[in-house]
């Protein structure tokens, strides 16, 4: 067996040992079943994870989660922790869509009530929430207002009437990460971001109306206010063109600085700088502004979603009990404390297409859920289920407190366009009772459920390993795409 071939070391648990000939400093751990592993081996996922294992200062092991697939430099569904003092920070280890994330709203409406007005509801949501490539938000920000968004995150939206403090209470980081510095952001990023606040965007971003189909953990579901048969809304979007530009800008900075710091890597897409260097500090402060932009963005979409429900059902938000359950970030790097070989260390944890999945009694979890564990949201792909999970203690040993962030692609967008038509995808969704409204033909075809892995398999791996366990299964009935 070559060192490139994963060996099975437990149920859903594979490893590639560190090979110094390949520059690897730590092993690679892969969490998957056999079918998911075979898909990873069919592209560059595993090779990329091996390359990540060569980054200076990486600790313990490089992680591939069950939704892992090929990405830019790092695999999507990849986690890597670097020593905060000696290690690196890498823009590619966070990704282009900084704080692409998911938030879940619950309601007390049942499926029958919503189905009777489903088309009206989807059309109202579609007309009130801007979506699509380069789409403009409904808010025009001055430079100083944009600065406030970049520093205050979700609080900016709430202070301007888009929701309440109950919303920020159930966001990761309470929707505002400190030490964001707008001065570390380029004019180009500002120009791209200023008109886009409050917009969904394109690609795999969506807003879904879902019903709660199965409850697997009664206690956790009760605490989250999730009841079988009721309607929820899942919002998936990020920092739009703003975050994309921040990543582009700092990838160039990192590429240029590597020679200065004498960093040699097997792939230039892994470009990184020492975490404590001037370039590392600047990237972190800029990345934090994009995190805050994304939380504010999702908050405004949440506000307009509630208003649509109010209009269509002629009830108030409070009558409908449209509370935010939780908001999780993907595509993020944060300094956290983790035990490594029995010693508590400060690590820069890069989650690229991965969700934090902390167990109970971690201070980072909002007080409402602290004794329960962190809610985790795993979206499917417009024709398949999504899941609510609960972070568990095994995640701390196996994946630096992380789990999968979605189904994970298996088919490129261009291949999806060659293999499917808009009519065939819409018919297949319609046959399942799902009404979709999309801005473009490609928005439908590229995101066909057949382009993704089976999200239930991804979730089963997480559940079986005790990284994050099942709370409830949600299935779509209405979808909005860019």
Binding site residue list for Mn(2+): 97, 205, 236, 330
Using the predicted structure, report yes or no on whether residue 134 has a pLDDT greater than 80.
no
* Residues with active-site annotation: 405
Pairing of strands 62-69, 28-31: parallel
Q: Indicate if the pLDDT at residue 78 is higher than 60.
A: yes
Percent of the chain with pLDDT over 90: 85
Nearest-CA neighbor of 456 among 439, 440, 470, 442? 470
Q: Which of helix, strand or coil describes residue 381?
A: coil
Q: What is the pLDDT of residue 3?
A: 47
User: Which of the residue ranges 68-72, 263-267, 448-452 would you say has the lowest mean pLDDT?
Assistant: 448-452
Most distant CA pair in the chain: distance in Å? 66
Q: Could you tell me which residue, 321 or 134, shows the higher pLDDT? A: 321
Mean pLDDT of the chain: 94
What are the domain boundaries of the chain?
Answer: 7-95+335-356, 101-327+362-401+413-481
The pLDDT value given to residue 296: 97
The predicted structure's pLDDT at residue 90: 98
d(CA 286, CA 275): 14
Per-residue pLDDT band at 160 (split at 50, 70, 90): very high
pLDDT in tens, 335-361: 999 999 999 999 999 999 999 999 999
Is the CB of residue 430 less than 8 Å from the CB of residue 89? no
- pLDDT score at 130: 81
pLDDT attached to residue 99: 98
**Averaged over 229-235, what is the pLDDT?**
98
Q: For 7-145, where are the E strands, in sequence order? A: 7-10, 13-16, 28-31, 62-69, 76-83, 88-89, 101-110
Query: 456 to each of 367, 368, 377, how far by Cα in Å?
Result: 29, 27, 13
Binding-site entries for GMP: 204-208, 330-331, 379-382, 386, 405-408, 481
At residue 439, the pLDDT reads 79
Question: Could you tell me which residues are annotated as the binding site?
Answer: 97, 204-208, 236, 330-331, 379-382, 386, 405-408, 481
What CATH architecture is 101-327+362-401+413-481? Alpha-Beta Complex (3.90)
What pLDDT, on a 0 to 100 scale, did the predictor assign at position 1?
32
Alpha-carbon radius of gyration of the chain: 21
428 pLDDT above the threshold of 60: yes
Least confident of 87-96, 104-113, 198-207, 287-296: 198-207
Nearest by Cα to 175 from 314, 293, 27, 76: 293
């Amino acid at each position: 067996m070559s060192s490139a071939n994963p060996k099975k070391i437990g149920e859903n648990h594979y490893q590639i040992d560190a090979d110094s000939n390949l520059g690897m400093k730590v092993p690679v751990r892969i969490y998957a079943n056999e079918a998911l592993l075979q898909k990873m081996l069919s592209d560059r996922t595993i090779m990329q994870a091996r390359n990540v294992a060569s980054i200076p200062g990486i600790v313990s092991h490089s992680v591939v989660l069950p939704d892992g697939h090929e990405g830019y430099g790092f695999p999507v569904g990849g986690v890597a922790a670097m020593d905060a003092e000696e290690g690196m920070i890498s823009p590619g280890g966070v990704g282009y869509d900084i704080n692409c994330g998911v938030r879940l709203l619950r309601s007390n409406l049942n499926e029958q009530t919503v189905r009777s007005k489903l088309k009206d509801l989807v059309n109202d949501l579609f007309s009130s929430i801007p979506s699509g490539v380069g789409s403009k938000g409904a808010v025009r920000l001055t430079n100083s207002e944009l600065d406030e968004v970049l520093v205050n995150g979700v609080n900016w939206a709430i202070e301007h009437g888009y929701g309440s403090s109950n919303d920020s209470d159930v966001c990761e980081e309470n929707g505002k990460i400190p030490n964001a510095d707008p001065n570390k952001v380029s004019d180009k990023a500002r120009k791209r971001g200023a008109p886009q606040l409050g917009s969904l965007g394109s690609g795999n971003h969506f807003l879904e109306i879902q019903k709660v189909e199965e409850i697997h953990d009664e206690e956790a579901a009760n605490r989250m206010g999730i009841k079988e048969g009721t309607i929820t809304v899942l919002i998936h979007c990020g920092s739009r063109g703003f975050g994309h530009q921040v990543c582009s800008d700092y990838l160039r900075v990192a590429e240029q600085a590597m020679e200065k710091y004498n960093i040699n890597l097997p792939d230039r897409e892994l470009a990184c700088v020492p975490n404590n260097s001037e370039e590392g500090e600047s990237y972190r402060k800029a990345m934090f502004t994009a995190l805050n932009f994304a939380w504010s963005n999702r908050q405004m979409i949440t506000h307009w979603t509630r208003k649509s429900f109010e209009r269509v059902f002629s009830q108030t938000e409070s009558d409908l009990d449209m509370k935010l359950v939780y908001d999780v970030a993907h595509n993020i790097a944060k300094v956290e404390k983790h035990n490594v070989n029995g010693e508590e260390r400060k690590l820069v944890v890069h989650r690229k297409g991965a969700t934090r999945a902390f167990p109970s009694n971690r201070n980072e979890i909002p007080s409402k859920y602290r004794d329960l564990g962190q809610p985790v949201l795993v979206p499917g792909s417009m024709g398949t289920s999504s899941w609510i999970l609960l972070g568990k203690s095994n995640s701390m040993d196996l994946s630096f407190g992380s789990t999968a962030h979605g189904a994970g692609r298996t088919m490129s967008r261009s291949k999806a366009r060659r293999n499917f038509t808009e009519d065939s995808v819409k018919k297949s969704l319609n046959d399942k009772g799902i009404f979709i409204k999309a801005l473009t033909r490609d928005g439908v075809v590229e995101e066909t459920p057949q382009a993704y892995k089976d999200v239930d398999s991804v979730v089963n791996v997480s559940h079986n390993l005790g990284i994050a366990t099942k709370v409830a299964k949600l299935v779509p009935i209405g979808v909005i795409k860019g």
